[in-house]
Each structure stands twice: as structure tokens, then as C-alpha cells.
Structure 1
Amino acid sequence: MASIIVGILSGLAAVVIKNATHFIQLLLEGKLVNEYHTAFYFIFPIIGLFLVFAIVKYVLKFQPTQGIPATLFSISKRKGLMKQIQMYASLILAPITVGFGGSVGLEGPTVSTAAALSSNLSRLLHMNQATRTLLIGCAAAGAMSSIFKAPIAAIIFAIEVFSLDLTLVSLIPLLLASVAANLTSYLFFGSDVLLPFKISETFTIGDLPLYILLGVVAGFVSIYFTVVYDKIQQFFDGFTSPLKRLLIGAFGIGLLIYLIPPLYGEGFDLINNLVQGNPEKALQNSFFNIDPTNVWALIALLLGLVIFKVIASAITFGAGGVGGIFAPTLFMGSILGFCFAKIINTLSFLSNPVSESNFTLVGMTGLMAGVLHAPLTAIFLIAEVTGGYQLFLPLMITAAISFSLANYFVPHSVYAMELGRKGDLITHNKDHAVLTLMNVKSVIEKNFVTIYTEMTLGEIVHNAIIKSNRNIFPVLDRKTMQLQGIILLDDLRPIMFDQSLYNNVTAQELMKNPPAIINLEDDKMTVVMKKFQETSAWNLPVISENKYIGFVSKSKLLTAYRRKLIAFSGR
């Protein structure tokens, strides 16, 4: 029942965000730009981003992060708990960002909104962490199912991106949520779909080498997408002033969209034009006076869109806009596939021309697999929304090659890049996932008697050994409280009863270096476990800002791991 409710709420969130965005876009682009002047392409994104900035600062007083990364973070580090404000922040800000021309998508904000709704519903129903995580997955499946009317691909998306375990227990709620969201979408939109296209040209085995080559090209373009996106985000992160980020980003995206109008908004109109064989519509209102009948000029402009779309998207995010990168990925992939086929047909080295529509669809799959690291989602989404199941073989080949190539050079998707670098990412590896959910601070023990470097053997015996029930002692510098070494009780036993040494031997002479040190700021639980495995130690000291904090024992670590595994599995 909860999954059905989540599915309906996800569908409603998608309806609200989509309708609000299209209303704003139709009002602005359809009236002012077409009837007055294309200079509005420069003005609208700036106005939109300033509106988002004002609403965030003075109304919401909360800066929502990117939808899917924020949801992944809540699962990894917040036990699936999301703030109530996340239920409506993206609902307000995403339509303004995209409707005014921000070059991003609506899928991420829809998933984020639906995930926040499901998270707070699970809190209301007092559900445990495992069930809450599953409901968030149901929300993601529902959001994607409602947007694309692709219920099977939506379930696969939730499993791939959110690393859910596919069991019968989890499959039924995902199915129910996906179907409920899909029906909600039909209730409001009827049979309208984002990609209204049916495959008419079948796959021929002679095109197989070309699809392999397309997979390679898509893989390298995926790497370009990820690297450029990351670099631009790091550039904007370097500014401490939000206003400075806003000014640079807003004027940057305004200029880009004025020069290249197809970068305005999501870009699904251009995708549909390419799939239906009307690429010249991509040149409308262009700043550059290019003849659309010139094939090479057309290809050059379209490839320019591939190069600049990721830049426009990253700048939109850097300026404070709210959106997603799912739509930009489809946008770039469709152009890539179309241009690939167009170049082949123009060069005319084949006896029969290849299907430009089919390559457009497969290009979307290739880039989605490489950028999002979701090859199964990419395959089933394109196949499901277009009825292109006869393209399954090229879809699989291109997605597999693109994903493998991108994954080799960039181990994490755009969604998971920052979390992956920090070691905070949940993966399908259950052992790694459980360790990621654990917190190092929760297993630190502080009931160790400390020894200072200048203490004599006699002082150690009377002030430490007699008073402690542990067999390991940290040795600290008395002034700085920094860890200098450790002393084991086994090392003291041969001399601890020799009173002639009580005043002659100091802790500095007796101590030794620990087999490894745990840094509280830098070491995640996966690293901590690896240090225990490599050193075979039973206790390891913990430092924070170079000062001694306590010890982590292997026994407590394994006990905490077992408890977290039980909670994670929901058993």
C-alpha cells in the first residue's frame, strides 16, 4: 500500500513539475521570442537564475542540491532521511530554472521530490532503514515511469542507480509504484509521450560494425561529458560568494543560449526532430546564418550542440539552478547518433544508407550508458518508449561498449562522482554498501589509559597498568596531545617486575609505532576495514587533526558490522 501511495505521489510530482515548466516555457519562448526578438534568449536565463537565487535566499532559506546525488547521499549517510523542505523545494525551483531557459532536465528534481515524499512518509509510518530505502527506490521508479511512460525501464533505473537488491520482496513494491505512477501520468497526459516515435526500419546484421564504432565514440563522448562537467563544477565551487557564482553563471548561460538557441531548456523538441528526420529545425533562430540544406554545415552545428550542451548544463548548475542531467544526456546522445549516421550516409561508402532514426535512438542509449553508468536503464528505456525491441542487439552492443570504456576511465557516474571520491557511495557490493553506511565515530573506544613520553617504567606500572583493564596504551606528547606511539602489555611483561629499571627506562624508549593509524577526517569505514585486514591488528589508534582520540577494536567493528548488515538487509 505504501508503494502504491508513493507511486501516485511520484506521478503527481512529475505532472506538476512538467506542466509548470512547459507553461513558463510556452509563455516566454512561444510569445516573446517568436513575436519580438531573439535577444530574450539572453535575458530569460538570467532572470530565471536570479529568481531562483532570491527564492532560495529569502523564501526557502535552503539550497537544494542536485536531485539524484542528494538522494544518494541521504541513503548513504543519513539512513534515507530527507528534510521536509526537499518535498517542495525542487517542485518550485526546477520549473523556474528550466522554464526560463536553464539548460538542464526535469528528471532529477522529480526523483528528488518523490524521494523526499517517500522518505517522510516512511518516517510517518515508523519504517526501518531498509524499508525506507526501498520506498525511496519506489519513488525513483515512479518518477521515471511517470515521465517516460516506461514502467520496466523505471524499475531498472531504481535498481541500477540506487543499488537496490533485486529480490521478490523488493520487486513487488517497485512494480506497484511504477504502475501507479504510470497510471497517474495517463490520467493527466493521456497517451502523450516525450519520444513519440515507433521503429519502422529494422536492424540489419551488416550495420553491426557501425554500431560497435558508435559505442566507442559514445564512450569517449561520455568521458568528455563527465570530465568537463566535473571541471566546471569545481570552478564554481572555488567561489565562496554565491552572488559571484550567480553573476558569472547567469551571464555565461545567457550568452550561450543567445548564440545557440537549441540549448534552451531540456531539448526534447530537438530530439524528436532528429528522430523524425527533421534536423533543419535545430537551426531555427540561430545566431549563425547557416544554410540548413548544406549537410556539412548542419553536421557542424549539431556537433557544436554536443560540445556546448554539457557546458551549458554545468554552468546552469554552477549558477545555482536546479535540474538534472538525464535530459542533457539524451540530448547529446541523440545528436551524436544522428551525426554519426549522417556522416556515413554523406560519405556514401555503403551500398545501402543506414537508418538515421535508428542511430539517433542508439546514440541516446550509448551516451546514457556511459554518462549515467546505467546501461540496462539505457537499453530498456529507448526500447520501451519507442517500441524498438527489434533494436535490442545494437542497443545492447553500443551500451555495453560505451559503459565499459567510460567506466574504465571514469569509475563513477556524474550522479555518484562526488560521493564516490569521498567513499560515501552505496554500491551493489553488499559488503561495501554496509561499510559505507557505518560511521567510524560510532565504534571508537576511549577507555584507554594514556601514557606520556617522559613517564618512567615505575609510573607506567602504578598509573597505567594497575588502573587499566586493556592491554594496549597510547603514548602521547603531553603538550600537543599528539600520538607518539603505543605500548603493549606483552612488551612490558618481561621487565615490569624488575624494580631496578623503574626510574631508568621511559615510555619513549618502550613505545613502538602502531601498525596503522586511523584518521577520523579522511578514512572511511572501508579504509578502516582494509587497514585491519592488512595489519592483522586487534586495535588501531584514531587521530583527529593530528591529536589522539581513542582506539577502534576489531571485535567492536565486527559487531557493529553485523548489526548494520542485519538492518541493511531488513531481516
Structure 2
Amino acid sequence: MKLKIQQKLDQLNRWRMQKISNRNFLVILAFAVGIIGGLAAALLKGLTHFIASKLQNDIEWHFKYSFYLVLPLLGILFSVLYVRKFLRGRKFEHGITPIIYAISRKSSRIEVHNVYSQIVTSAITVGFGGSCGLEAPIAYSGSAIGSNTGRFFGLQYKEITMLLACGAAAGISGAFNSPIAGMIFAIEILLPEFSIPAFIPLLISAALAAVVSRLLYSEPLFHTATTEWEVEALFFYMFLAVIVGLYTVYFAKISNVVKEWFVKVRNPYNRVWFSGIALGVMIFIFPALYGEGYITIQQILDGQFDSIVKNSLFSDYKNMAWVVVCYTVLTLFAKSFAALFTLNGGGNGGVFGPSLVMGGLIGFAFAYGMNQTGVVMLNVPNFVMAGMAGALAGIMHAPLTGMFLIAEITGGYTLMVPLMLVTSISYLINRSMLTHSIYTKVLAESGDLLSYEDKDRTVLSMMKLRYVLETNFVVLRPQETPNDRKSDIIHSKRNIFPIVDEKGILLGIIYSERLFAILLGEEDGADKTFDKLVQKPNDIIRDKENMEVVMSKMNRDDVWILPVVDEQHKYLGFISKSSVFNKYRALLVRQGHYLE
């Protein structure tokens, strides 16, 4: 049955290639990906809010503290159980980093289970109070939709990558009802090098996803009436941008620290208990940490400046302005730990949403605090929105996404100039201190990041050592002599011979020039064993090393070929500059067609 289906699919693809060009077919598939991505976004938002409302409705706020201590832990636990019991060993990752890695190293292939697994686990995590966002999971789910759609129709790398980006754009567009931000997100984060035709499929997918999501789940993320910004306030917007930029640097650094903490906890269920209990305690003290945190931001935008303290243990002090400011700052720092504990403890979500919330809290604390001095009166909602855009720009290294996202979700472009200033300054501060964003740092350190700023390094990073490994060499044993292997040596087409013992361990090498000199009597040693004649290679290549390291070793010692061994020093083959250059040319051709 499976063979017949595959045959029918092949026939359909052959007919399609004859009748429809790849470019036009890509546009058709972009329609499909946009619609499915919009459905996925609506499903995720609806499911998450359904779970949250069922757990919270008809419960007086002062009784919720006891539930806050338990619910986040249960959400993380159920998410971990789903992954371990239902996925049964299949790899499950969260965040934007795996999407970028799939483009760089996996030919844009994402496992199909991510279409639904991302939705289920993130809805459980956030619905039960996990302090993270839904945007990264829906972008991952949309990317899986696009990737598997392209693979289903047998498309090539460039088309699959474009559909993957269309899916991610559709996910972000559907989640925020912001098609422009969805499209720019795909370009800034996933497709840093693109051509004008790339806009068309992205526009189609993002627009359709926004339409479908709005039809099925019409509740906007934020609703606010923006007011005109004042020229006199520009200095304060720039001051806010500096604060936000520095905070994004802090968040990136603390995320690495928290990740290292959790790496030391080997048992996944111990991570659940640790993160769940810690999260419950933090939410008990700072109720605004429950879930995404957008409700608190919306209340602030509505002018309810005491809302962050109102439903907390410190509600009796809600009328004291400086208590509100200080409590907001504490909530801000608690949010960074709450989000990271949720994600590293086993919950599924992303830092996209927390970035907005943290930026909003910074903007509120800054503007509201400045107003209490009596020196100036700032428009608090405007600074909240500017802070949201700045945090997103700094943490993600995506200033355009931050700027257009806030402009779209606030219903206009009244604040465009302040948004441009805050996002650009925040981004520049973060970029000056941290070369890579929170999404790309790990990939850059492992050599798996595509960087279009350095073409040579980019192409090398796309190579996999196993594809350039050469194995057609005559292997010599340490107890053999040149006379014993005379025939093999003479007829070998290679000018280098590995000497390997019975356990497969590489002892060294010997060149054909020396062997011929020995066999012709120009040098003594015809009856000497190879363990006496062995030469130490200039260097060796480990099978886990990336190609940039390989070329560095070759250039440093000015050699054309080096042996490759595994972690136990067992011989695997050789790698030569010729094979690397051939693969390099092939990848350049593939890149030349990329996103044409």
C-alpha cells in the first residue's frame, strides 16, 4: 500500500513539474501553508486560553495562591510526560534555535510530529501557568508544516527552506494577527539573505494566516489607543532604550547561567520538581508571572497602573506609587528567572513572549517612576509599547520585527519614530556586547550557524565531514613489510598509506615516495616492519570536528591531506583539500540558486 501511494505521488509530481513551474507551485503551496498555519495558531491560542480559563474561572483571587503553587508544576510535568510517553524517544526541542539549525545543517527538514507536539505541549505548559510565550512553539509548528509540505511534494532545498519560512511567518502572523511582523520575522531570523521574489510566498502565507486566525479566534493580543508622541520626550525614549538594551544583555547572560544549572540535573523529573516548585513560589509572590503575562501588560495599557500590585500579597500598598515601581522592577527580574525555569525544566514555550512582557515592565517602571519625580509627565502606555519593541529587538537581534510587531498590534504607526529609535539603540547595545542573539549563540559556538556576512565560513559550516571522507586507501598492518605488500603498494592509486593495527587504531602513515625508494633499493627497509617505518602525520582530524577547524589545520601545516579518526583513535579514512574544494563548489552552486 505504501509503495503504491509513493508511486502515485511520484506520478503526480512528474505531471506537476511538466505543467507548473517550481516558482508558481511554490506560491500555491504558500497559500496552503498560510491557511494551515493560521488554523494551527488559532488552535493553539484557543486551547491555551480554554485550559487557563477552566483552571481559573469562579475562583476568588485570594484563593488562587494555593493553586499557583501547584498548577505550573503540573503543566511542566504533563508536558514532559507527553514527550516521554507519546513521542517515545523521538527528538523534541523547543525555541527558534532548532529551526535555524534545521536550515543550516538538516536541509530544512523538521520532523512531522512537531506540527502537533509543539501545540499540545505549549498549550499545557502555558495554560497551567508556565511563564513563557506561545510564539516560538507556533513558529516551530508552522515551520514543520512548511518543511513537510515541501518534502511531501519532493521539492529541493531552496523550496523547502522557503516553505519552512512561510510556515514560521504564518505562525507568528496568526499568533499576533500581524502579517507584516510575521513576514519580517522570517526574513530577519530565518532568511538573512533573500531576494525580492521571496517576499511573495511569505506575504501570501502571513496574510492568509492572519485572516484565518482572526476568523477563528478574533480576540486581539492587545488593544490600545495610541496617542501622539512629543518631541520633548525623545531624550527619555533614548534613555529607555539604553536601559532596555542593557537589560537584554543581562537576560542573555542569565539564560546561560540557568541553562548550566539545569544541565547538572540529569534526571528529567528532578528538573520538573525543581523548576515547578520554584516557579510556584515565584508566582505566589508575583502573580503577574502566571502564564504569558499579557494580561498585566494590557491592564497597564488601559491605565490601571496599580494592577501589578493589586492582586498580590502587597495589595494593601497599591496606592503607594513608589511601592508599585519597586514591585514592578522585582517582578521584571523574577520574570526572567520564571521564563527560564519553565523552559529549562521541561516546559515548552519561548522567550518571544517573555521578551515583550519584560520590555513592557521596563517601560512602565521607567515612565511611571519618572512621573513620580514631578520633573516630567510621560505617556506611560507609549513607553510600555516602546519598551516591548526594544526588548524584542535586543534579545532576538531583530529590530525590524520588534518595531513592526508593536506598530501592528497597537493598531497604527503613530509611535513609529520612537519605536525606530528604541529598537535600533537597544539592538546596537546588545550587538556590541554580544555578537550573537540568544537564538544563535549555541549554533555559532558549535560552528552550525549560517552567516551570510562571511561566505567562506558559511559554506564550510554547511559541510558535513562524512560527505568528504575518503576511504579508498590501502591499509598496512604494523607487522607487515614493504615486500609483503609490494603488489598492493605498486597498484594503489593513492600516494599515502595508513598503518593500522588489528584493533583499528591508527599508528601513523607512510608516503608512496618513500615506499618506492625502499622497494627500488634506494633506501634500506624492504624487510623492516611498518611499525619501524611508520611516520607521524602532521595532524589528525577528529570525526566530530567541523570543517572550519579541518581547513585551519590543513592551512596551518600546509598539507593537502590528513587522516581522520574517531574518539578512540580508530582509523576512519582521509580528508583532502580536493574533496573539500569539490564539495565547496557544489554548495556554492546550491547557494547560488537559494531563494532566487
Question: Structures share a fold, TM > 0.5?
Answer: yes
Alignment correspondent of 2:224 = 197
Contact 2:133 2:352 in 1 (8 A): yes
Residue pairs, 1:180-259, within 5 angstroms: 180-190=208-218, 192-204=219-231, 206-259=232-285
Alignment correspondent of 2:43 = 16
Cα displacement (A) at 1:92 = 1.5
Quick one: structure 1 residues 261 and 500, their matched pair in 2 at CA, closer, same or farther if it must change by over 3 Å? closer
Residue pairs, 1:378-393, within 5 angstroms: 378-387=402-411, 389-393=413-417
CA distance in 1 between counterparts of 2:412 and 2:538 reads: 58
CA distance in 1 between counterparts of 2:170 and 2:523 reads: 77
Contact 2:167 2:205 in 1 (8 A): yes
Which of the numbers 186, 193, 203 marks the counterpart of 1:158?
186
Which of the numbers 124, 131, 134 marks the counterpart of 1:96?
124
Cα displacement (A) at 1:152 = 1.6
Cα displacement (A) at 1:480 = 6.1
What is the letter of the counterpart of residue 565 of structure 2? I
CA distance in 2 between counterparts of 1:314 and 1:489 reads: 58
Does residue 372 of the first structure (1) align with residue 410 of the second (2)? no
Cα displacement (A) at 1:506 = 7.2
Contact 1:107 1:143 in 2 (8 A): yes
Which of the numbers 547, 551, 565 marks the counterpart of 1:525?
547
Cα displacement (A) at 1:401 = 2.7
CA distance in 2 between counterparts of 1:431 and 1:389 reads: 40
Alignment correspondent of 1:421 = 445
Greater shift in the superposed pair: 177-186 or 212-221: 212-221
Does residue 316 of the first structure (1) align with residue 338 of the second (2)? no
1:372-400 CA-partner distances (Å, limit 9, x unpaired): 12122112212232245343333233323
Contact 2:477 2:502 in 1 (8 A): no
Alignment correspondent of 1:278 = 304
Which of the numbers 449, 460, 463 marks the counterpart of 2:474?
449
Structure 2 spans left out of the alignment, 5+ residues: 1-27
Alignment correspondent of 2:17 = none
Greater shift in the superposed pair: 329-338 or 268-277: 268-277
Quick one: structure 1 residues 344 and 37, their matched pair in 2 at CA, closer, same or farther if it must change by over 3 Å? closer
Quick one: structure 1 residues 319 and 67, their matched pair in 2 at CA, closer, same or farther if it must change by over 3 Å? same
Quick one: structure 1 residues 187 and 432, their matched pair in 2 at CA, closer, same or farther if it must change by over 3 Å? farther
Alignment correspondent of 1:148 = 176
CA distance in 1 between counterparts of 2:555 and 2:368 reads: 55
Which of the numbers 323, 326, 340 marks the counterpart of 2:352?
326
Cα displacement (A) at 1:122 = 1.4
Alignment correspondent of 2:430 = 406
Alignment correspondent of 1:76 = 104
Greater shift in the superposed pair: 353-362 or 89-98: 353-362
CA distance in 2 between counterparts of 1:500 and 1:332 reads: 75
What is the letter of the counterpart of residue 418 of structure 1? V
Which of the numbers 265, 269, 272 marks the counterpart of 2:291?
265
Residue pairs, 1:547-566, within 5 angstroms: 547-566=570-589
Quick one: structure 1 residues 511 and 26, their matched pair in 2 at CA, closer, same or farther if it must change by over 3 Å? same
Which of the numbers 337, 347, 353 marks the counterpart of 2:377?
353
DSSP-derived class of the 1:39 partner: helix
CA distance in 1 between counterparts of 2:415 and 2:211 reads: 27
CA distance in 1 between counterparts of 2:506 and 2:286 reads: 59
DSSP-derived class of the 1:131 partner: helix
DSSP-derived class of the 1:293 partner: coil
Quick one: structure 1 residues 550 and 60, their matched pair in 2 at CA, closer, same or farther if it must change by over 3 Å? closer
Structure 1 spans left out of the alignment, 5+ residues: none
Does residue 34 of the first structure (1) align with residue 57 of the second (2)? no
Quick one: structure 1 residues 497 and 8, their matched pair in 2 at CA, closer, same or farther if it must change by over 3 Å? same
Alignment correspondent of 1:54 = 81
Does residue 133 of the first structure (1) align with residue 161 of the second (2)? yes
CA distance in 2 between counterparts of 1:525 and 1:359 reads: 47
CA distance in 2 between counterparts of 1:392 and 1:110 reads: 27
Contact 2:143 2:168 in 1 (8 A): yes
CA RMSD of aligned residues (A): 2.6
CA distance in 1 between counterparts of 2:556 and 2:509 reads: 18
Contact 2:37 2:174 in 1 (8 A): yes
Alignment correspondent of 1:469 = 493
What is the letter of the counterpart of residue 436 of structure 1? S
1:393-444 CA-partner distances (Å, limit 9, x unpaired): 3323332332233234333322233333222223334544443332111110
Greater shift in the superposed pair: 528-537 or 140-149: 528-537
Cα displacement (A) at 1:445 = 0.3
Alignment correspondent of 1:304 = 330
Contact 1:8 1:180 in 2 (8 A): yes
CA distance in 2 between counterparts of 1:480 and 1:207 reads: 74
Contact 2:393 2:402 in 1 (8 A): yes
Contact 1:33 1:41 in 2 (8 A): no
What is the letter of the counterpart of residue 70 of structure 1? P
Quick one: structure 1 residues 485 and 213, their matched pair in 2 at CA, closer, same or farther if it must change by over 3 Å? farther
Cα displacement (A) at 1:330 = 0.3
Contact 2:228 2:415 in 1 (8 A): no
Contact 2:48 2:124 in 1 (8 A): yes
Quick one: structure 1 residues 460 and 337, their matched pair in 2 at CA, closer, same or farther if it must change by over 3 Å? farther
CA distance in 1 between counterparts of 2:480 and 2:225 reads: 82
Contact 2:46 2:217 in 1 (8 A): no
Percent identity for Structure 1 against Structure 2: 34
CA distance in 2 between counterparts of 1:348 and 1:512 reads: 80
Cα displacement (A) at 1:500 = 5.4
Contact 1:290 1:297 in 2 (8 A): no
Quick one: structure 1 residues 29 and 76, their matched pair in 2 at CA, closer, same or farther if it must change by over 3 Å? same
DSSP-derived class of the 2:70 partner: helix
What is the TM-score with the length of structure 2 in the denominator?
Answer: 0.87
Cα displacement (A) at 1:338 = 1.7
Cα displacement (A) at 1:454 = 6.8
Cα displacement (A) at 1:159 = 1.0
What is the letter of the counterpart of residue 196 of structure 1? H
CA distance in 2 between counterparts of 1:495 and 1:403 reads: 65
